[in-house]
């Protein structure tokens, strides 16, 4: 019997949360999103043994990492998220690790390098969170902002450093797409495409994202030019197309 009562603990802006949210939406799994602002997400995640988001909870257990969530959903449903061709397994793992450990880490560091201000973060941290967390935002932002700065190593040069790392991953994706393929692996949309697009989203700003992109002009100038440059690459156009064509089925209700 399939598990029931799916709940997804998130931080609204978190792109690893978006990866899990997209997989649930893509598979049309009904779920309830339980969004929290940092550091309150930890009160929600700790009873399941996690610290970070996303955490997926069902009536039979919990998964505390975005890739574990995708793999779990892949086992549960007949519609396969991962390529099934055994010849693609090594590349699947390699790309999944590259996107999770490099792309996701650097799009987050790049983003926080420019938006670590209360005005820019308020909508990104508070969409759908309990009202009392919203009320506490002004009081806790100075302390949480400092923690984010030190945890993600945000410095004067971190935006430029992380942009270079993002370019390396985008170059790799450009290389794969150069033969005209429609998907990174195999002949259908897969978890690898989804992982790439969700973790690239902070620098691609797709209009279909759960958090509607800000007007480019409202963002710092360097961020605007990095976004424009990334969007114009083959990898960037690919990520934006995936959002356009596959980011649908908002089946969940949020609380
Ligand atoms: N490997 C984890 C990484 C998730 C992650 O880094 N989540 C960040 C948000 S993007 C987070 O929860 N940060 C707050 C914390 O660690 O307390 C996954 O894929 O689920």
Q: How does pLDDT run across 137-149, given as a tens digit for each residue?
A: 999 999 999 999 9
Same domain, 155 and 220: yes
Strands (E), the chain: 6-10, 31-35, 55-58, 61-63, 253-254
Q: Give the three-class secondary structure for 106.
A: helix
CB-ligand 1 contact for 16 (6 Å cutoff): yes
Token output for 69: 């969530």
Mean pLDDT per 10-residue section of the chain, whose length is 255 residues: 94 98 96 97 96 97 97 96 97 98 98 96 96 97 97 98 98 98 97 98 96 92 98 98 88 44
| Ligand 1 binding pocket mutation candidate from 52, 102, 108 (most atoms within 8 A of CB) | 52
Q: pLDDT digit string (tens) for 69-99? A: 999 999 999 999 999 999 999 999 999 999 9
Name the closest-CA residue to atom 10, ligand 1: 14
Whole-number Å distance, alpha carbon 51 to ligand 1 midpoint, is 8
Cβ–ligand 1 distance for 51 under 6 Å, the answer yes
173 CA to centre of ligand 1 in angstroms: 23
pLDDT value of residue 214: 87
Q: Domains in the chain: how many in total?
A: 2
* Residue 22 burial by Cβ neighbours in a 10 Å radius (0-12, 13-18, 19+): buried
pLDDT of residue 40: 97
Quote the domain boundaries for residue 12.
Answer: 6-81
CATH number at 231 reads: 1.20.1050
Instruction: Give the pLDDT confidence of 159-186 residue by residue, as tens digits.
Output: 999 999 999 999 999 999 999 999 999 9
Out of 20, 53, 81, a domain closes at 81
Binding site membership of 133 for ligand 1 (Cβ less than 6 Å)? no
Task: Choose the final residue of a domain: 55, 81, 107.
Answer: 81
């Amino acid at each position: 019997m399939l598990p029931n009562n799916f709940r997804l603990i998130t931080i609204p802006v978190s792109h690893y949360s978006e990866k899990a949210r997209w997989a649930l939406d893509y598979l049309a799994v009904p779920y309830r999103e339980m969004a929290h602002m940092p550091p309150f997400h930890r009160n929600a995640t700790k009873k399941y043994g996690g610290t970070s988001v996303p955490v997926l909870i069902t009536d039979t257990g919990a998964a505390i990492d975005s890739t574990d969530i995708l793999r779990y959903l892949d086992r549960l449903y007949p519609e396969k998220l991962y390529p099934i061709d055994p010849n693609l397994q090594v590349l699947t793992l390699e790309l999944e690790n590259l996107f999770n450990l490099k792309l996701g880490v650097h799009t987050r560091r790049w983003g926080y390098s420019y938006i670590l201000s209360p005005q820019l973060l308020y909508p990104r941290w508070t969409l759908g969170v309990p009202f009392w967390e919203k009320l506490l935002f002004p009081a806790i932002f100075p302390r949480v902002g400092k923690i984010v700065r030190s945890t993600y190593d945000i410095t004067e040069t971190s935006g430029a450093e992380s942009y270079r790392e993002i370019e390396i991953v985008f170059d790799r994706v450009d290389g794969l797409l150069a033969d005209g393929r429609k998907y990174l692996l195999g002949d259908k949309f897969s978890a690898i495409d989804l992982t790439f697009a969700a973790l690239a989203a902070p620098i691609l700003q797709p209009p279909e994202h759960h958090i509607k992109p800000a007007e480019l002009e409202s963002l710092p100038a360097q961020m605007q030019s990095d976004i424009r440059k990334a969007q114009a690459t083959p990898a960037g156009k690919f990520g934006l197309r995936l959002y356009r064509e596959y980011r649908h089925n908002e089946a969940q209700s949020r609380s």
